Amino acid sequence: MKSEKKKSKIASTGKDRVFYIVCGLIMVVLTLMVLYPVIYVISASFSNADRIVAGKVWLWPVDINLDAYKLLFSYDQLWTGYANTIFYTVTGTLINLGVTLICAYPMARKNLMGRGPLMMFFSFTMLFSGGMIPNYILVKSLGMLNTRWAMLLPGAMSIYNMIVARTFIQSNIPDEMLEAAQIDGCNDFQFFFRMVLPLSKAIIAVLALWYGVSHWNSYFNAFLYLKDRELYPLQIFLKDILVQSESITVSEDDYTSVGMLSEHISVAIRYCMIVVSTVPLFCVYPFVSKHFQKGVMVGSVKG
């Protein structure tokens, strides 16, 4: 009997090793599939435009050339767009988090009067919306047209994100904690700011990343609501730079002052714009990713 148990244990151990090896290989393949496009874009942004067009850039930069970056950064309003986008992202994310969490907390309370009808009202807006023209008329009627508020207040709360936050609060902050706090004289406002928010760092980090990426990539509202170029986000200026670079037409033998064929400038600038517009997100993500695990709640409730 003991020998049979040992054999079965060895067999199961061997199967486990094979399983882990296969899973590891799959993860390596998936990682390479995701990582290679990023490496290629970065390498192409530092390569000569002619080499990119010729298809000679595969992994590492070929004939390193920074002229495309020089052209991109020589555009004065690029920095204006950067400053506006950072403002819209930071301020808009703070507004989004405030509105979402303030709404999610009462919706997580089971004793909230009219909780069911309110949830149906919120869910209805996920299926039906007024459309572009009614939204434009609303923004204009509120006097937010061609102002920064037009980029911040419309869509201040995502219903999906509110439901995610509500579910997190329901699952991780028990009613017993609220009852114990109320016995000690804590009201709902104190409980929300002193207990709920500190224990919801994980979901706050996730929502901040979702909202932040949405604001960083937002450009359509700027097309609709903004006319002053001083208010434009980065993406609008990047589009203008790309259009201007594509409009340059010079003979093939004529080199520009920056040392590359003019007809290939737009190809190099395209990759540079991807790098310039995504580097801030890559820098922020490592500080947020550690909060993605739900284990932040471990030990918060005793007994």
Domain co-membership, 226 together with 255: no
For the chain, percent of residues with pLDDT exceeding 90: 12
pLDDT value at residue 260: 45
Q: In terms of domains, do 163 and 110 share one?
A: yes
Q: Which domain holds residue 278?
A: 2-73+248-291
Same-domain check for residues 41 and 85 = no
The arithmetic mean of pLDDT across residues 11-36, rounded, is: 84
Is 298 part of any domain? no
Q: Which residue has the higher pLDDT, 118 or 55?
A: 118
Task: Give a yes or no: residue 195 inside a domain.
Answer: yes
Looking at the structure, tell me whether residues 201 and 139 fall in a common domain: yes
Question: What's the pLDDT score for residue 20?
Answer: 87
Question: Which of 157, 154, 155, 156 is CA-nearest to residue 166?
Answer: 157
Higher-pLDDT residue of 199, 259: 199
- Nearest to 278, CA basis, from 108, 38, 23: 38
Mean pLDDT of 50-78: 80
CATH number where 153 lies: 1.10.3720.10
Predicted local distance difference test score (pLDDT) of residue 296 = 41
* Amino acid identity for residue 14 in this structure: G
Q: How many domains does the chain have?
A: 2
pLDDT for the residue 26: 93
Per the model's pLDDT, the better-predicted residue between 12 and 141 turns out to be 141
210 and 177 in a common domain: yes
Region of 284 please: left (phi>0), alpha (psi -120 to 50) or beta.
alpha
- Please indicate, yes or no, if residue 221 is contained in any of the structural domains: yes
- Which of 204, 230, 256 delimits the end of a domain? 230
pLDDT of residue 85: 92
Domain-embedded: residue 127: yes
In this structure, the answer to whether residues 212 and 162 fall within a common structural domain is: yes
Assigned domain for 297 exists: no
Same domain, 143 and 25: no
Looking at residue 94, its pLDDT comes to 94
In sequence order, what are the residues at sequence separation of 6 or more whose Cβ sits closer than 8 angstroms to the Cβ of residue 48?
A: 62, 63, 64, 65, 260, 268
13 plus 111 within the same structural domain: no
Domain presence at residue 216: yes
User: What is the pTM for the complete model shown?
Assistant: 0.78
Single out the residue in 203, 230, 257 at which a domain terminates: 230
Q: How far apart are CA 128 and CA 51, in angstroms?
A: 49
Residues 142, 258: one domain? no
| Residue 277 located in a structural domain | yes
Q: What is the pLDDT averaged over residues 21-36? A: 90
> What pLDDT shows up at residue 257?
44
Per-residue pLDDT at 246: 64
Instruction: Specify whether 14 is located in the same domain as 146.
Output: no
pLDDT at 263: 55
Q: Residue 56: phi, psi to the nearest 5? A: -95, -5
Same domain, 133 and 152: yes
Q: Examine the domain organization and report whether 123 and 196 are in the same domain.
A: yes
Q: 232 or 293, which is more confident?
A: 232
Most confident of 79-93, 183-197, 239-253, 286-300: 79-93
Look at 301 and 126; give whichever has higher pLDDT.
126
Q: Is residue 133 a part of any domain in this protein?
A: yes
Whether residue 7 is predicted with pLDDT greater than 60 in this model: the reply is: no
The pLDDT of residue 3:
57
Structure tokens at 67: 């002229």
